[in-house]
Amino acid sequence: MRIGVFTDTWEPAIDGVVTSVRVFRRELEALGHEVHIFAPHYAKAAPDGPRVYRFRNLPYPPYPEYKLVVPWGVNFSLRNMRALNLDIVHSHSPFGVGSMGLYLAWRQHLPAVLTYHTYNEHYLHYAPGPAAFWRWANEAVTRTLTNRYDKVLAPSTPIRDALLRYGTRTPIEVLPSGVDVARLRPSGRDLKHEWGLGVHQPLLLSVCRLGEEKNLATVVRAFAIYAKRGGEGTLVLLGDGPRRAAYEALARDAGLADRVLFKGMVSHDTVVDALGQADAFLFASLSETQGLALLEAMALGVPCVIVPAMGTAEVMEGERGGLFCENDPESMATTLTRLMHDAELRKAKGEQGKARAAEYAAPLMARRMTESFQRLIEERRP
């Protein structure tokens, strides 16, 4: 198959969608398929490899890492798209570049698939005006756009259920993003030394965008309670976002500026190295459609303490890989204390996490995607 992938974020950006697209591209190409990536242009991006096409764009101030694309290519022309002879279009957003993929599919009579990565309902606090209006608008727009596709892929069952509640009539298939278990190999880089941590000092890790929807305040407050009770270790936060200054102030006000380290946006290789040295992974996000950061932690055997919500509850179903806590700093602190005081429990949860993450192995998910696409192509043939 020749697959056109349309995504609003791509390298050098770092987020869950980029990770998903990168892993699926690698696995699909390993199966002999041809994958073409269409994405926004970034001014400081390194030269692209083959079959990557960039759209011109404008800045989007509320979300600096995202771009408002315009229908003109940097290194290609939409008028010459037929020459690629695509078999199917796969959009990773109903907006922006994804909508251009839908338009192309319509023009060329191609089947169009949408992966619904982002649960927009948890991002409406960025919109000005009455929240009730934006909730209504989000449901109406999502319903309208998803019903224009031939199939929608949901990363988790809760997302499928949300789309059905919105009124999506297009067939929905639950197909999670795969985790690249075989390639998640720490390099041996000593991040504890680089970050000034003692070799025996526990490293507690959280990886996410520093936005309100990720609920990181619960993690920081929970660590403050844990530390006040004599809990050992340093909390390291990987990621950046609009709430970083607020979270730094939260840690500073708790007298923990030296025990809560903000390392900003780092490479995926650094995330893997950090996970390889972490003693526990903390995650309180309420907005995950799946939770790839959580899955990678589990794949590397890091025991997790999470607030089970949306996709993360499904990924760590039955506490396979860690412990659940309530969406409350006191509950998370108590659960973390229990985990850190029980080495056997940490070991058992780490092994459970590896086994659970293997069920999301990238080759398995790529084969499922291939079969799904091939069925759709066959259905559309006259």
Judge whether residue 122 has pLDDT over 70.
no
63-103 residue pLDDT tens: 666 667 777 677 677 777 888 999 999 999 998 889 999 99
CA 225/CA 144 separation, integer angstroms: 46
Q: What pLDDT does 124 receive?
A: 65
CA angle at 57 for the pair 51 and 60, rounded to the nearest 5°: 130
Query: How many structural domains does the chain have?
Result: 2
243 and 275 co-located in one domain: yes
Q: How far is CA 55 from CA 221, 270, 309, in A?
A: 42, 29, 35
Q: Is 51 in a helix, a strand, or coil?
A: coil
263 and 155 co-located in one domain: no
CA 347/CA 366 separation, integer angstroms: 30
- Mean pLDDT, rounded, for 48-63: 79
151 and 194 co-located in one domain: no
Count the alpha carbons within 13 Å of 159 in the hemisphere toward its beta carbon. Answer: 30
244 and 351 co-located in one domain: yes
Answering whether pTM is above 0.95, one says no
The more confidently predicted of residues 32 and 48 is 32
Q: Omega into 171 within 30° of 0, i.e. cis?
A: no
Task: For residue 120, name the pLDDT band (cuts at 50, 70, 90).
Answer: confident
Number of neighbouring beta carbons within 10 Å of residue 366? 21
Q: What pLDDT does 41 receive?
A: 84
Question: In terms of residue numbers, what domain contains 83?
Answer: 2-178+361-380
Output 253-256 pairs: Cβ under 8 A, ≥24 positions apart: 254/220, 254/221, 254/224, 254/227, 256/223, 256/224, 256/227
Name the residue type at position 240.
D
288-331 residue pLDDT tens: 999 999 999 999 999 999 999 999 999 999 999 999 999 999 99
Output the average pLDDT for the chain.
91
- Mean pLDDT, rounded, for 357-374: 97
Q: What pLDDT does 66 receive?
A: 65
188 and 125 co-located in one domain: no
CA 151/CA 115 separation, integer angstroms: 9
Q: What pLDDT does 357 receive?
A: 97
- Mean pLDDT, rounded, for 346-359: 98
Residues 255-265, buried b or exposed e (16+ Cβ, 10 A)? ebeebbbbbeb
CA 142/CA 137 separation, integer angstroms: 8
326 and 370 co-located in one domain: no
- Mean pLDDT, rounded, for 162-186: 94
39-53 residue pLDDT tens: 988 776 677 888 999
Judge whether residue 368 has pLDDT over 90.
yes
CATH label of the domain that carries residue 92: 3.40.50.2000
DSSP secondary structure code for residue 211 in this structure:
S
209 and 173 co-located in one domain: no
